[in-house]
Structure 1
């Protein structure tokens, strides 16, 4: 596991989400430590979203490991969504599809790392979001 992915370990645990989407999510390391896995149950504008996200470096069969931390979300409605993660200090950016995309989340961890506050931005919309680490960790 490389350092950039290890830095995302600050997400490990359970979180309450408020803002444009509400619910809970949990991040854990997959066995082997090469991937971070998120399981979430959210309400987004009255629509229930059940999802699993796998976060890590792409390493295709017979190929070289990638250099960007990427993810794919699978939801109960059959959707797949791709993201690129960037963490610089306390600022987390989650790009929709590719770095520089017009769709992204940009948020900041508070001191202590138990709160992440930011905004989802995308063409034609967006919303404010806050994640607070659950005390039952």
Structure 2
């Protein structure tokens, strides 16, 4: 079986209905800072329709390991949803839903549905290698930075 390069996978997705390509700047490995420490790594799933995020971080004394699948919902026989959605599976048995939105250099990740009171909002540096923002949710929140390391 021929192994495809990441460039070939992304090229396939370019010809599809996938707005998830707007999140291309996330691809790579990031060092977390602020109130969290650890790393996150984003990669394309073969075919280029979905992005995977691998998380290994510490937050408020908790070690969190999870995987997230990011893309458009496309139930059997239906068109793809316009929103970029994700599902997270973590080492505590949680399954969490998010909606991603990138406008200009600001990334917003809504907990559950767009407009939720639980969200992340962060701004990318001009070169796209740094993001600074905060998670906000009822009763709390935390500062978060990401520095691209690979």
- The structure that has the greater radius of gyration is 2
The one-character-per-residue Cα deviations of 1:51-100 (angstroms, maximum 9, x if unpaired) are 00000000112222111000010001110010000000101000000010
Indicate the SS of the match to 2:57. Answer: strand
Aligned residue for 1:62?
77
| TM-score normalised over the length of structure 2 | 0.87
Q: Which of 78, 84, 92 is the equivalent residue of 2:99? A: 84
Q: Distance in 1 between matches of 2:103 and 2:39?
A: 24
| TM-score normalised over the length of structure 1 | 0.95
Structure 1 residues 113-132: aligned runs within 5 Å: 113-132=128-147
Which has the larger helix fraction?
Answer: 2
Indicate the SS of the match to 2:98. Answer: strand
Structure 1 residues 1-137: aligned runs within 5 Å: 1=13, 2=17, 4-134=19-149, 137=150
Indicate the SS of the match to 1:119. Answer: strand
Superposition misfits of 4+ residues, deviation over 3 angstroms: none
Q: Tell me the matched-pair count.
A: 135
Which has the larger strand fraction?
Answer: 1
Unaligned segments of structure 1, at least 5 residues: none
